[in-house]
C-alpha cells in the first residue's frame, strides 16, 4: 500500500488538473458508467461473504484449542567447538549450525519446534515422528499457554507419525474425520505453528489425494493441499469445513525451504490406524502378502501379452509366505485386493499394510490373460521387510540404505547418470549422524564405485572401526566428497 500511495495521489491531482483546464466548475458531479460515488457492493454480496466469514471463524474457533506447540530438545554431536559469536542466531540463520566449528567432537543441545493435535481428552496427541525423533525432552504448550511435559507413547518412521501424551485430562479435542471421502476441490484449513508462530491458520483446498513417491516416508498416501504450510507446521492439523481432522500436516514441496503452493498431509484414516496400534500394542502391526511387486509398464504389458494397463506385476514370491501358500505365482498380475481395484504398486502396498494379520482376503490375478481369484490369509509383516544395510562396526554404522529404484529416482530428482545407493535413515548415535542425511546417494566408498546394496555391503565389510572413510555422494543436485575421519 505504501508504494501505491504516491501513484494514487499523483493520479488524483492529474485528473483534477485536466478538469480545471477544461473549464469545469470546481463543484461538479462526476459520474461514469458503473460508478456511483460509492463502492457499489450489493447488500446481498455482503451478506453472503459475511456468512462465509462467520462460518470459517466458527470452524477455526472450534479447532484451534486442540492444536498445540511441540518443542523437543536432544543432544547431538558435531565436530568442533564453535567460536562464541557463531552462536548468534543471525549467523545460524544464514550459515547453519555447523558453520565455524573446529576441534574435537562435542555434544550440544539442539531444539526443534513443531505442532501436534489433541485427539483424546486423556492427553493423547498426534504429531510427526520427525518432530520428536531422538528427543530427550518434550514440552507441549497448549493454546491457553499451559505447558506440560510430553512423553512418547510410540513412533512409526515408515509413516512419519508419532503419538505423545501429556498427563492431564478434560482437554479440547478435534474429531477425526473420514479422509477416504475427501474430494479434490474441498476447502481445508491448516492449523499449526509455522516458524514458531503459535496458532496460525491458513486456508486452501485439496489439490489431490493419494499422492505417493514423494520421498518423505515409506508408506505414502498423502493429501496434497495449497493451504500454506511452512516449517513448524509439521504435526499440525488439516481440517475440513465441518471442523474434523482429515490430515496431519507433514511436508512441503519447496526449492527454497518455504511455502511454494504444494503441501502434504497424512490422511486421518492412516493416522488413526497407526495411533491405535501404537497405543494398544506399542508398535505398528502391518499386514504382509509376501510378494515382490513392480509397476506394470507398457513394455512389460507387451512382453507378458497383457492388454490391461492397471494392476501390479508379481516379480517374486517369498517362500512359505502367504501368497505362495495361496497359490500366487511369479508373473501374475494382481488387479484386485479385497474387492478393491489395484491401480499401482503403492496402492497395493498400502492396502496390504492396512489389513489386519490373520485376515483372509480375496485376491484377483490375471495369469496367462485368464482371471483367477485366490483367498490369502495375510500375515504380520516381518520386522525387517525392507532392504536395509547390515550392521557394520565402522563409521557407517547405523546408516541404512537401499537401491535406487525408478520411483525413488523420480521423487528425489536423481539424474540417470548417478549410480549408487540412497540413504533411507541415519541413526542418531551413528558416527555419520550430522554428516550424512536421508536422501543422500552414496556413489563411492574409498574410491570404490558403489552400484547397489550388494557392492555397498561388500566394500563396507572390509573397513575397520578405526579407519577413516572417503565418500563420494550426490546431494541436492551436486556431487561432493565427504570424509568420515578416524577417531
Question: Annotated catalytic residue: which of 71, 72, 115, 130?
Answer: 130
CATH of domain 179-281: 2.40.10.10
Whether residue 27 lies in the annotated active site: no
Angle, vertex CA 296, rays to CA 294 and CA 302, nearest 5:
130
Amino acid 157: pLDDT: 86
Q: What architecture is the 399-484 domain classified under in CATH?
A: Roll (2.30)
User: What CATH class has 64-165?
Assistant: mainly beta
Question: Annotated catalytic residue: which of 234, 277, 379, 430?
Answer: 234
Q: Of 10, 13, 213, 202, which is closest to residue 115 (Cα–Cα)?
A: 202
Whether residue 393 lies in the annotated active site: no
Amino acid 375: pLDDT: 95
Give CA–CA dist 266/222, Å, rounded.
Answer: 5
287-380 CATH choice from 2.40.110.10, 2.30.42.10, 3.40.50.300, 3.20.20.70:
2.30.42.10
Is 448:471 a contact under the CB 8 Å cutoff?
Answer: no
Question: Annotated catalytic residue: which of 71, 72, 156, 160?
Answer: 160
Amino acid 369: pLDDT: 81
Give this prediction's pTM. 0.64
Per-residue pLDDT of the chain (487 residues; tens, 9 = 90+): 333 333 233 333 333 333 334 344 444 344 444 444 455 788 888 888 888 888 888 888 999 999 999 988 877 655 444 444 344 343 343 444 444 444 445 566 667 788 999 999 999 999 999 888 888 899 999 988 899 999 999 999 888 999 999 998 889 999 999 998 999 999 999 898 877 677 788 888 999 888 876 766 777 788 998 887 777 778 899 999 999 999 999 876 554 555 566 888 999 999 999 999 999 988 888 899 988 888 777 777 777 777 766 788 887 788 888 999 999 998 889 999 999 998 888 889 889 988 989 999 999 998 888 889 999 999 988 764 344 444 567 888 888 888 887 767 887 889 989 999 998 878 777 888 889 988 899 999 999 999 988 888 888 888 888 888 999 999 988 899 988 887 6
| 179-281 against 399-484: fold identical | no
Residue extents of the structural domains in the chain = 64-165, 179-281, 287-380, 399-484
The dihedrals phi and psi of 371, each to the nearest 5 degrees, come to -70, 145
Spatial neighbors of 147 by CB under 8 A, at least 6 apart, are 139, 140, 141
Amino acid 45: pLDDT: 86
* Set of cell numbers at residue 179: 479422509
Whether residue 25 lies in the annotated active site: no
Amino acid at each position: 500500500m505504501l508504494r501505491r500511495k504516491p501513484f494514487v495521489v499523483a493520479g488524483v491531482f492529474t485528473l483534477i488538473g485536466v478538469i480545471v483546464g477544461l473549464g469545469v466548475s470546481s463543484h461538479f458531479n462526476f459520474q461514469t458508467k458503473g460508478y456511483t460515488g460509492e463502492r457499489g457492493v450489493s447488500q446481498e454480496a455482503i451478506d453472503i461473504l459475511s456468512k462465509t466469514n462467520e462460518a470459517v471463524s466458527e470452524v477455526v474457533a472450534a479447532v484451534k484449542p486442540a492444536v498445540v506447540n511441540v518443542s523437543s530438545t536432544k543432544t547431538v554431536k558435531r565436530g568442533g567447538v564453535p567460536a562464541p559469536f557463531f552462536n548468534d542466531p543471525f549467523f545460524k540463520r544464514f550459515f547453519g549450525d555447523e558453520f565455524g566449528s573446529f576441534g574435537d567432537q562435542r555434544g550440544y543441545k539442539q531444539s526443534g519446534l513443531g505442532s501436534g493435535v489433541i485427539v483424546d481428552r486423556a492427553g493423547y496427541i498426534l504429531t510427526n515422528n520427525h518432530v520428536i525423533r531422538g528427543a530427550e525432552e518434550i514440552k507441549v504448550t497448549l493454546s491457553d499457554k499451559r505447558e506440560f511435559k510430553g512423553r512418547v507413547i510410540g513412533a512409526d518412521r515408515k509413516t512419519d507419525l508419532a503419538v505423545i501424551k501429556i498427563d492431564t485430562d478434560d482437554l479440547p479435542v478435534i474429531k477425526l474425520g473420514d479422509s477416504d471421502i475427501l474430494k479434490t476441490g474441498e476447502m481445508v484449513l491448516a492449523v499449526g505453528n509455522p516458524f514458531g508462530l503459535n496458532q496460525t491458520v491458513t486456508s486452501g483446498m485439496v489439490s489431490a489425494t493419494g499422492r505417493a513417491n514423494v520421498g518423505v516416508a515409506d508408506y505414502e498416501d498423502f493429501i496434497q493441499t495449497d493451504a500454506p504450510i511452512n516449517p513448524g507446521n509439521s504435526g499440525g492439523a488439516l481440517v475440513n469445513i465441518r471442523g474434523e481432522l482429515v490430515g496431519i500436516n507433514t511436508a512441503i514441496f519447496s526449492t527454497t525451504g518455504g511455502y511454494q503452493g504444494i503441501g502434504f498431509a497424512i490422511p486421518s484414516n492412516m493416522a488413526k490406524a497407526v495411533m491405535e496400534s501404537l497405543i494398544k500394542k506399542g508398535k505398528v502391526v502391518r499386514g504382509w502378502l509376501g510378494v515382490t511387486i513392480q509397476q506394470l509398464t507398457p513394455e512389460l504389458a507387451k512382453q507378458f501379452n497383457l492388454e490391461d494397463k492397471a494392476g501390479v506385476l508379481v516379480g517374486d514370491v517369498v517362500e512359505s509366505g502367504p501368497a505362495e501358500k495361496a497359490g500366487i505365482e511369479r508373473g501374475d498380475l494382481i488387479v484386485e485386493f479385497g474387492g478393491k481395484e489395484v491401480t499401482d504398486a503403492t496402492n497395493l502396498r498400502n492396502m496390504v499394510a492396512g489389513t489386519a494379520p490373520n485376515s483372509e482376503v480375496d485376491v484377483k490375478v490375471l495369469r496367462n490373460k485368464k482371471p483367477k481369484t485366490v483367498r490369502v490369509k495375510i500375515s504380520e509383516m516381518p520386522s525387517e521387510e525392507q532392504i536395509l544395510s547390515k550392521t557394520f562396526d565402522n563409521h557407517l554404522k547405523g546408516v541404512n540404505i537401499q537401491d535406487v529404484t525408478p520411483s525413488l529416482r523420480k521423487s528425489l530428482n536423481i539424474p540417470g547418470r548417478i549410480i549408487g545407493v540412497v540413504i533411507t535413515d541415519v541413526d542418531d548415535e551413528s558416527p555419520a549422524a550430522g554428516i550424512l542425511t536421508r536422501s543422500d546417494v552414496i556413489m563411492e566408498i574409498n574410491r570404490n564405485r558403489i552400484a547397489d546394496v550388494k557392492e555397498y555391503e561388500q566394500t563396507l565389510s572390509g573397513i575397520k572401526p578405526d579407519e577413516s572413510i572417503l565418500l563420494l555422494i550426490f546431494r541436492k543436485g551436486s556431487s561432493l566428497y565427504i570424509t568420515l575421519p578416524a577417531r
